[in-house]
A and B are shown apart, each in its own frame.
Chain A
Amino acid sequence: MAITEERPEILELESGDTSFSTGAFARPTNASGWRAWFFTVDHKKIGIMYGAVAMFWFLWGGVEALLIRAQLFTPNGTVLTAEQYNQIFTMHGTTMVFLVIMPLAAAFANYIVPLQIGARDVAFPRMNALGLWLFVFGGIFLNLSWFLGGGPDGGWFAYAPNTGVTFSPGAGMDFYALGLQIAGIASLVGAINLIVTVLNMRAPGMTMLRMPVFTWMILVVQFLLLFALPVITVALILLSFDRTFDANFFNVAMGADPLLWQHLFWIFGHPEVYILILPSFGIVSETLPVFSRKPLFGYSVIVISGAAIGFMGWGVWAHHMFVSGLGPVGVAAFSATTMFIAVPTGVKILNWIATMWGGNLRFTVPMMFSISLVSMFTIGGLSGVMHSVAPADTQQTDTYFIVAHFHYVLFGGALMGLFAGMYYWWPKAFGYKLSESLGKWHFWILLVGFNMTFGPMHIVGLQGMARRHSRYGPEDGFDFWNAVVTIGAFVILIGMIVFAVNIVRSWLGYKAGTIPQEPADPWDARTIEWAIPCPTPEHNFDYVPVITDIDDFWHKKYQPDENGKLRKIADGNEIAQKGDQSPHLPSPSYWPIVLAAGLPLIALGLIYNLWVSGIGLVLLLGAMFGWSLEPATDPNAGHDDHGDDHDPDTNAPDGDEGGDAEVAEEAPVG
């Protein structure tokens, strides 16, 4: 093993000067406790933190949702004032989109993608940590507004000029514009990192068309982020310049065009909805074959339609603007493209159904959540196609029918898929399964509550109940269904409490030894993240896995016999790697979190006092300096490595191409 090799002299690569490479300050060690989390650069810990923080915001976004529903429980609700209502529904949407679903997807992307491609970490581990902390601080910054004069109140879409100083004089929209900017940088950093990881660091033999579908969908999403984020960045910059420096982009008195914001926002916004849904599409494309014990029907079709959605998603944004006066040509064109984009989406749904068709279904909790994605998303997709018919949409737009649509795709689709992923990969991350029986309670209560909450919205929507309004009158006749909806929302709350209980009880049971530690391959799964122990060892793979097939792990367990019938030839838990090597890893670092802390300070200063920005800037530049002096891997931590800023298994232009693939003395049982 490499451990015994002597110090390499390649340390000089960083700079040609070894003393230069060791960093200006002491660096954190792999200690345990909170330091192990705050300064980690391990993609698995980062993934878990993304998930934990997102679940916290999910709780908070859920409280906001319940406040909205409490207000609308009866006509002329008095729980919230109109101002408070505007702030709450704005922050509910903003939180759920940017602080819950996107980071939950990032959690899975970070944890699972390197494992699925057989890599030891992402391409730039410290950048990964930076993305996490920017997301954390961006979320805190956004919500600081509650304590500093009130939350943003212009909707998650923040239509300018309505969000300019004239109509939204409080600081709330400043927090929105700057907070999303910070969260946006986080996503951009993460997107670039994952793109490089997937393009460059796949295990030998894993061609693009052998990649698991989840990894594929994450790759598509990262490209969508890469190209969509700069557009909202520009929109937010224009808004901030208007609000902070008195620019005139949205100044109607000067002849501004209110459609400018809408175009920019929705050019970002529609790709964004695919950013939200495709990770879950990827998750169920993993779980459905595993629990149907059949290969995914039409792997390449699913991959291609996923990529097609990614492309076509750029050409439909104005379907959010059908009533804004685009003119008949624009409306007709965007109506047509919107109808077309439902095609690849429908193709995927048909593929999943065909995957389950005739399969040997196992109704585990992840399977149930996956099936509910397929069915609930279809309902949302169908109402989406209804909106694509512009004359119909003229009736539906800005009503609760739209609210029903996007909750069926976002809650019934994205979130259900993410829950499927949690139950499915929980043993890989923590070593034990969540309780299946509590999980089923969680599932059924959630499913009923979900349909009770969002189903009736179709009805009140078509009856004309407007969205974004804090009150409806007794004469409107919306009372009954609104009461049902509010009760449904509390049923969802109960479902989520069951989930929380499940997490706590399973964890306690695991600690107490009543819930067993799972072996490497508890679900008899198909992809190579199951070829390593549960929970994942710190270094992921002992040996570079060599890939020969789609669903490689499955093919190492099952092979057709002479008659072409599938026979089990090996047990997954036995051929899995043992996790008993201890190669050295990228070292922890202080700088990502310090650097990330600079940005909210700069943003606060832009709102209140430029001196604060100055402090933030000093922090930022200091951290950049410290970062650049510090090698990615601590030369003093145990066993040494090159001082370059990337993972050991990438190539630096160092002209040494020595051993690509050395053969280990002993191969594990297989």
Chain B
Amino acid sequence: MADIDEIDTSNLAYGRTEWDDHHHLPTNTGLTNEKVTMWAFLGSDCLLFGALISTYLLLRNRVGPATSGPTAADLFDIPFTSVSSFVLLMSSLTMVLAVTSIQRAEMDRCKLWLLTTAALGSIFIAGQVYEFTSFYREGLGFTTNISSSAFYTLTGFHGVHVSLGIVMLVTMWVLVSGGQIGPERAETIEIIGLYWHFVDIVWIVIFAVVYLIP
């Protein structure tokens, strides 16, 4: 994409160049506005998760004098969560495939990979629902102690992020199927892909910091 600063600037007086409503001027960065928006949002979201993760780390072992409730860490089922983490990781791969296929104008493949990505994400969410339920059965509610509040809040926020991603993926699948999105709008899928990868990376951090580090 052309750099706007390379445009001929030899005209000194104001008003040589006409606004052009039909042909977009290139942007200064060469990235579209939508893409810069997503990057900015993700930058902001990093701090959201940063604050939530720090909060969890500070509070992970606090159960309080009055309770006998377990901490979340007492109940972790590492093999189970490893599998669901792996599923989420694989969904990043399928997301890449969806983006490449729409860039190559292979719409059927794109649809397939979009759906696969959404499905893998859903499996992850199902795993989280299962995990939460079994923790709850074992006596760890949201209000049981400080560490449980922190655990559910952090992982819950991540779950909401994944779920929003699934909604976006399914919407894309509908739009691609209906022909409203064609190869010329590959970037829309690419931008959603950015979001999806981000959510995956955050999970890797959460999995490492919350589940694996004792």
Contact = CB atoms under 8 A, between A and B. Distances in A.
A442 B29 CA distance: 44
A655 interface: yes
B9 A546 contact: yes
A241 B153 contact: yes
A661 B148 CA distance: 60
A657 B17 CA distance: 16
A264 B47 CA distance: 11
B13 A667 contact: yes
Nearest to A229: B44
B146 A249 contact: yes
Given A199-B36, A260-B58, A654 B184 contact: yes
A202 B17 CA distance: 14
Interface stretch (A148-156, A449-457, A644-652): A644-652
B21 A639 contact: yes
Contacts of A205: 5, 7, 9
Contacts of A641: 21-22
Contact of B41 (A192, A228, A264, A663): A192
Nearest to A663: B16
Nearest to B9: A205
Contacts of B65: 253-255
A512 interface: no
B180 A199 contact: no
B138 interface: no
Interface string A249-280: 10101111100100010010000000000000
B51 to A, nearest CB: 4
Contacts of B14: 528, 531, 543, 545-546, 556, 575-577, 668, 670
A661 B24 CA distance: 10
Contacts of A546: 7, 9, 11-12, 14, 16-17
A247 B28 contact: no
A653 B32 contact: yes
Contacts of B31: 200
Contacts of B5: 204-207
Contact of B149 (A248, A267, A548, A577): A248
Given A234-B48, A651-B1, A20 B180 contact: yes
The interface size bin for chain A is 35 or more
A543 B44 contact: no
A195 interface: yes
Interface in B9-53: 9, 11-29, 31-34, 36-37, 40-41, 43-45, 47-48, 50-52
B15 A255 contact: no
Interface string B140-156: 00110110111001000
B21 to A, nearest CB: 5
B189 to A, nearest CB: 11
Residue of A8, A15, A576 contacting most chain B CB atoms (<10 Å): A15
Given A253-B64, A556-B12, A651-B1, A660 B21 contact: no
B2 interface: yes
A2 B22 contact: yes
A478 to B, nearest CB: 40
A227 B150 CA distance: 22
B182 interface: yes
Given A247-B142, A256-B62, A200 B36 contact: yes
Contacts of A320: none
B81 interface: no
A662 interface: yes
A249 B150 contact: yes
A505 interface: no
Given A230-B47, A544-B17, A664-B18, A238 B32 contact: no
B185 interface: yes
Contacts of A564: none
**Secondary structure of the A contact surface, majority rule:** loop
A145 interface: no
Interface in B126-182: 142-143, 145-146, 148-150, 153, 175, 178-182
B90 interface: no
Contacts of B75: none
B8 interface: yes
Residue of B1, B7, B17, B150 contacting most chain A CB atoms (<10 Å): B17
B17 A662 contact: yes
A447 to B, nearest CB: 38
A196 B7 contact: no
Nearest to B186: A653
Interface in A55-72: none
Interface in A263-301: 264, 267
Contacts of A235: 51
Given A247-B153, A651-B27, A662 B18 contact: yes
Contact of B4 (A1, A202, A226, A253): A202
Nearest to B62: A255
Contacts of B68: none
Nearest to A639: B21
B79 to A, nearest CB: 29
A328 interface: no
A660 B7 contact: yes
Contact of A660 (B2, B29, B43, B62): B2
B213 interface: no
A233 interface: yes
B13 A196 contact: no
A561 interface: no
A10 interface: yes
B176 to A, nearest CB: 10
Contact of A649 (B2, B15, B25, B50): B25
A547 interface: yes
Nearest to B45: A230
A662 B22 CA distance: 12
Given A201-B27, A234-B48, A548-B12, A248 B19 contact: no
Contacts of A206: 5
B185 A653 contact: yes
A548 B142 contact: no
Contact of B146 (A8, A254, A650, A670): A254
B210 to A, nearest CB: 16
Interface string A5-36: 10010100111110010000000000000000
Contacts of B7: 204-205, 546, 660-661
A123 interface: yes
The 9 closest A-B pairs by CB, nearest first: A670-B13, A254-B64, A651-B24, A230-B48, A234-B51, A658-B23, A200-B27, A543-B15, A15-B180
18 contacts: A17-B180, A200-B28, A200-B32, A226-B44, A245-B142, A254-B145, A267-B51, A528-B14, A545-B17, A556-B12, A556-B14, A576-B14, A639-B21, A641-B21, A654-B24, A658-B20, A664-B15, A668-B14
Interface of A: 1-2, 5, 8, 10, 13-17, 20, 120, 123-124, 188, 191-192, 195-196, 199-202, 204-207, 226-231, 233-235, 237-238, 241, 245-249, 251, 253-257, 260, 264, 267, 528, 531, 539, 541-548, 556, 575-577, 581, 583-584, 639, 641-642, 646, 648-664, 667-668, 670
